[in-house]
């Protein structure tokens, strides 16, 4: 059986990204590996072993082109309204909370927020399959 351990994104500003993920989602730096041409920063929460790997290519100043394929990172929270209010207050500009219903059954309540590099993060209320 395979175990998911991390997902990687390329970011331009290490400090800005670390601050965003810590402030918005409580992810702390679990490890940092510095190489000649790039740095890897692993972020994780106390709740899970799954990590977000930030790759910072040294000397890069221009933003990455994210393309038109709609990928995202998803995190679940206990109180979606409180999380949304806090992200608004911190100036992170989350989109509105929406509901996803299927055949008359509420499947999910969620919103999206973009990180400093434009990656989309889906924030879901703990409910149903999202625990």
In the residue annotation, 122 being an active-site residue is answered as yes
Determine which one of 81, 90, 103, 122 is catalytic: 122
Contacts of 6 (CB under 8 A, 6+ apart): 42, 50, 51, 52, 53
Q: How far apart are CA 46 and CA 35, in angstroms?
A: 27
When computed from its CA atoms, the radius of gyration of the chain, rounded to whole angstroms, is 16
CA-to-CA dists, residue 87 to 24, 60, 94, 110, angstroms: 7, 28, 7, 13
Q: Which residues pair with 74 in a beta bridge?
A: 122
106: part of which helix (H) or strand (E)? strand 105-114
Q: How far apart are CA 49 and CA 27, in angstroms?
A: 11
Residues with a catalytic annotation lie at: 122
């Amino acid at each position: 059986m395979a175990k998911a351990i991390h997902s990687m994104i390329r970011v331009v500003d290490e400090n800005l990204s670390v601050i965003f993920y810590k402030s918005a989602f409580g992810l702390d730096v679990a490890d940092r590996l510095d190489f000649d041409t790039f740095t890897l920063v692993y972020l994780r929460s106390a709740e899970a072993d799954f990590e977000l790997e930030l790759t910072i290519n040294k000397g890069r100043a221009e933003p990455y082109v994210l393309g038109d394929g709609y990928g995202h990172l998803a995190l679940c929270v206990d109180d979606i309204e409180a999380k949304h209010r806090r992200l608004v207050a911190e100036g992170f500009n989350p989109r509105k909370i929406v509901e996803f219903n299927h055949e008359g059954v509420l499947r999910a309540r969620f919103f999206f927020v973009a990180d400093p590099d434009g990656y989309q993060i889906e924030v879901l209320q703990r409910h149903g399959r999202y625990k």
